[in-house]
Amino acid sequence: MAINWFKYSSPASFYSLAGKMVPIFFIAAVLLLVAGLYIGFFVAPTDFQQGEAYRIIFIHVPAAWMSMFLYLVMAFWAGIGLAFNTRLSSMVATAIAPTGAMFTFLALWTGSLWGKPMWGTWWVWDARLTSELILLFLYIGFMSLQAAIDDPRRADKAGAILALVGVINIPIIYFSVQWWNTLHQGASVSLTQSPTMATTMLWGMLIMALASWMYSIAMTLMRTRVIILERESHTAWVAELHKKEVAR
């Protein structure tokens, strides 16, 4: 049996496939969110050092992970679009940026609200916080650069170069707590060591991270669909699709 793997790289077939996938990922996100919040607020115990303030972790860490991970995925698709001239990959990269920026903002916002009671300050210019702020500027720069260029294909290429250069910031964020003396604590969860936190806290955090994944996929697919329609508005298949949606 031969599967045509390139079938869904055409915007028209991807549009309908993505339309079917959005509800699945969205429902998964909602279910995981409910489970994660339940564990986070009703199962995970009070922290012996930080009291209840640590419950910010269930947003802060998933948001920070997603902010970095989405940037890598965005740069990957932008790079593929640049190298192979595939339109859909560039559209996906463009679709990821706002969600990535949102998670970066939330990581900074929740970090600030956590820093105030624990460190006594909303903000410090330490390496972790500063590099995360630079990540936010990279997302905003990517979006404004693309918005400033009228020709979508040229916008894709310019954006891709910015995104690829900015990848250097991701390891800087990740390792900042080791490379520099930061006020921000080191990683509580890593691939090489066993986590330094209560099991229920860890589970709550991981489930919330999974919920953020599902949410990000749903949003990216939704936004990619809109971008496909915008860019292909002159084509026959969009006219056909529009006729069907109006008749419904």
Partner 1 sequence: MIWESWSDFFSMGGYGVYVWGSYFMTIVCIVGEIILIQKRHRTLHKHLGLIHESTEKEIKNETSS
Tell me if 233 contacts partner 1 by CB under 8 A: yes
* Measured CA angle at 242 (ends 241, 245), to 5 deg: 90
* Cβ proximity to partner 1, 190 vs 233, nearer residue: 233
Instruction: Decide: 189 and 195 in contact? Cβ < 8 Å.
Output: yes
d(CA 191, CA 177): 16
Query: Which string of DSSP letters, residue by residue, matches 30-86?
Result: HHHHHHHHHIIIIISPPBTTTBTGGGGHHHHHHHHHHHHHHHHHHHHHHHHHHHH--
Nearest 10 degrees: CA dihedral of 223, 228, 233, 234?
Answer: 170
Among 18, 32, 63, 127, binds partner 1 (CB under 8 A): 63
Among 52, 120, 150, 168, binds partner 1 (CB under 8 A): 52
Among 42, 48, 84, 125, binds partner 1 (CB under 8 A): 42
Tell me if 236 contacts partner 1 by CB under 8 A: no
* Cβ proximity to partner 1, 157 vs 223, nearer residue: 223
* Cβ proximity to partner 1, 153 vs 242, nearer residue: 242
Among 76, 86, 229, 237, binds partner 1 (CB under 8 A): 229
Tell me if 161 contacts partner 1 by CB under 8 A: no
Among 12, 21, 53, 140, binds partner 1 (CB under 8 A): 53
* Cβ proximity to partner 1, 42 vs 84, nearer residue: 42
Tell me if 157 contacts partner 1 by CB under 8 A: no
Which residues between 2 and 41 bind partner 1 (CB under 8 A)?
41
Which residues between 69 and 128 bind partner 1 (CB under 8 A)?
98-99, 102, 105-106, 109-110, 113-114, 116-117
* Measured CA angle at 147 (ends 141, 151), to 5 deg: 125
Instruction: Decide: 173 and 95 in contact? Cβ < 8 Å.
Output: no
Tell me how crowded residue 240 is: count the other CB atoms within 10 A of its CB.
11
d(CA 102, CA 89): 21
Distances in Å between the Cα of 70 and the Cα atoms of 32, 105, 146 are: 19, 13, 18
* Cβ proximity to partner 1, 154 vs 243, nearer residue: 243
d(CA 100, CA 140): 10
* Cβ proximity to partner 1, 193 vs 244, nearer residue: 244
* Cβ proximity to partner 1, 52 vs 193, nearer residue: 52
Structure tokens at 38: 């339940």
The footprint of partner 1 (CB under 8 A) covers 41-42, 45-46, 51-53, 55-56, 59-60, 63, 98-99, 102, 105-106, 109-110, 113-114, 116-117, 215, 219, 222-223, 225-226, 229-230, 233, 238-239, 242-243, 245-246
